[in-house]
């Protein structure tokens, strides 16, 4: 592993020797960030195609959840954590492998390419996946092996989703609404258990102090921001809440229809997006302000509920509001 890391650092240093690319790479990196996909998914769901938007939400939550588990299981560093020669043109507090950007880009852009079913869509998706992944190397936040692992896991997840989506959806439709909600709740608890189990398994192996020392030198760190926090238990509650919110939103329309027509003039679509996004920010940022830090158990419960509400608003409550407002 040390030899692979040293080879990776040599490649990163060679890439970083090319001047004037930092701004472009930051932009490319943003196209693979969770925050960008959290804008794209609602835009598609509210303004283009609800069915594609809902499936995109499932893929995004699954990708983020699996990526978090694998990061903790491998618990390996980022390049600038172990070698000060690497310029930290970005900063990340989580472990490195597998690259979340590479994995999310593979699943999300690959999924959209599969929906469009045109050669140019696949070509564009592959180009974005490669460029987003390249940006993570240039910014010094990932090794080539991190990116490769992200590609492999993302491709496997996308393939599994495309192969099993219909039979799983058919099975869920045979369940009652409450049974579907129960499945979602059970999956969210299972993810919490897996996340806690992985954290407990790696607890006897503390991270080297050098990682934190080197990471703290990153110029992109904001005041008060942790240089490293890869064993943050909040991440498990976040993904578990998103799973529950997703399951709840997809189960309820079978008994409480909130169908809305995504067609219409751009003004209506724009209003939908603005109103929906304001709601997301209210639940995401507003509830964050009242989330307690202590006691820990209460903080995790509130965080779980917060992300349930964020996803539930996006996929269920927002469309309900659009219908009532004749949008």
- Please tell me which residue, 196 or 255, carries the higher pLDDT value: 196
Contact 242, 280 (CB under 8 A): no
How many CA atoms are closer than 13 Å to the CA of 11, on its beta-carbon side?
Answer: 17
Contact 88, 220 (CB under 8 A): yes
Q: Is 50 exceeded by the pLDDT of residue 239?
A: yes
Q: Is 70 exceeded by the pLDDT of residue 258?
A: no
Q: Is 70 exceeded by the pLDDT of residue 97?
A: yes
Average pLDDT of 278-303? Answer: 78
pTM of the predicted protein model = 0.88
Distance CA 122, CA 60 (A): 19
- Please tell me which residue, 258 or 60, carries the higher pLDDT value: 60
Q: Is 50 exceeded by the pLDDT of residue 256?
A: no
CA-wise closest residue to 307 among 282, 285, 284: 284
Contact 86, 13 (CB under 8 A): yes
Contact 234, 199 (CB under 8 A): no
Residue 267 pLDDT grade (very low, low, confident, very high; cuts 50, 70, 90): confident
Q: What is the pLDDT of residues 24-36, one digit of tens each?
A: 888 888 887 777 8
Residue 285 pLDDT grade (very low, low, confident, very high; cuts 50, 70, 90): confident
Work out the mean pLDDT of the chain and round it to a whole number. 86
Work out whether the CA dihedral 263, 268, 270, 273 comes out positive or negative: negative
If you write DSSP's letter for every residue of 252-313 in order, what string do you get? GGGTS-------S-HHHHHHHHHHHHHHHHIIIIIHHHT---SSHHHHHHHHHHHHHHHHHI
Q: Is 70 exceeded by the pLDDT of residue 168?
A: yes
Contact 100, 67 (CB under 8 A): yes
Residue 241 pLDDT grade (very low, low, confident, very high; cuts 50, 70, 90): very high
Distance CA 277, CA 313 (A): 10
The pLDDT value recorded for residue 184 is 94
CA-wise closest residue to 143 among 211, 79, 227: 79
Q: Give the position of tokens 């974005």.
A: 128
């Amino acid at each position: 592993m040390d030899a692979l890391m040293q080879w990776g650092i040599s490649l990163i240093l060679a890439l970083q020797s090319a001047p004037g690319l930092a701004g472009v790479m930051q932009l490319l990196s943003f196209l693979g960030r969770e925050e960008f996909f959290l804008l794209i998914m609602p835009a598609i769901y509210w303004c283009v195609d609800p069915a594609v938007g809902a499936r995109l939400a499932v893929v995004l939550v699954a990708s983020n959840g699996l990526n978090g588990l694998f990061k903790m299981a491998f618990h390996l560093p980022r390049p600038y954590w172990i070698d000060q020669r690497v310029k930290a043109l970005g900063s990340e507090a989580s472990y490195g492998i597998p690259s979340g950007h590479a994995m999310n880009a593979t699943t999300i852009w690959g999924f959209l390419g599969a929906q469009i079913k045109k050669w140019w869509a696949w070509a564009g998706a592959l180009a974005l996946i490669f460029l987003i992944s390249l940006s993570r190397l240039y910014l010094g936040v990932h090794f080539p092996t991190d990116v490769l692992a992200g590609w492999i896991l993302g491709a496997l997840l996308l393939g599994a989703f495309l192969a099993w989506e219909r039979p799983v959806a058919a099975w869920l439709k045979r369940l009652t609404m409450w049974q579907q909600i129960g499945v979602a709740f059970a999956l969210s608890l299972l993810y919490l258990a897996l996340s806690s189990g992985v954290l407990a398994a790696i607890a006897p192996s503390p991270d080297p102090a050098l990682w934190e020392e080197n990471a703290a030198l990153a110029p992109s760190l904001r005041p008060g921001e942790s240089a490293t926090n890869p064993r943050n238990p909040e991440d498990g509650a976040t993904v578990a809440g998103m799973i529950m919110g997703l399951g709840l939103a997809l189960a309820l329309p079978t008994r409480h229809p909130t169908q809305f027509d995504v067609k219409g003039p751009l003004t209506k679509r724009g209003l939908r997006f603005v109103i929906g996004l304001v709601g997301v920010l209210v639940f995401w940022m507003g509830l964050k302000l009242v989330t307690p830090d202590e006691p820990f158990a209460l903080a995790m419960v509130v965080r779980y509920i917060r992300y349930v509400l964020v996803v539930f608003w996006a996929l269920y409550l927002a469309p309900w509001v659009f219908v009532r407002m004749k949008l």
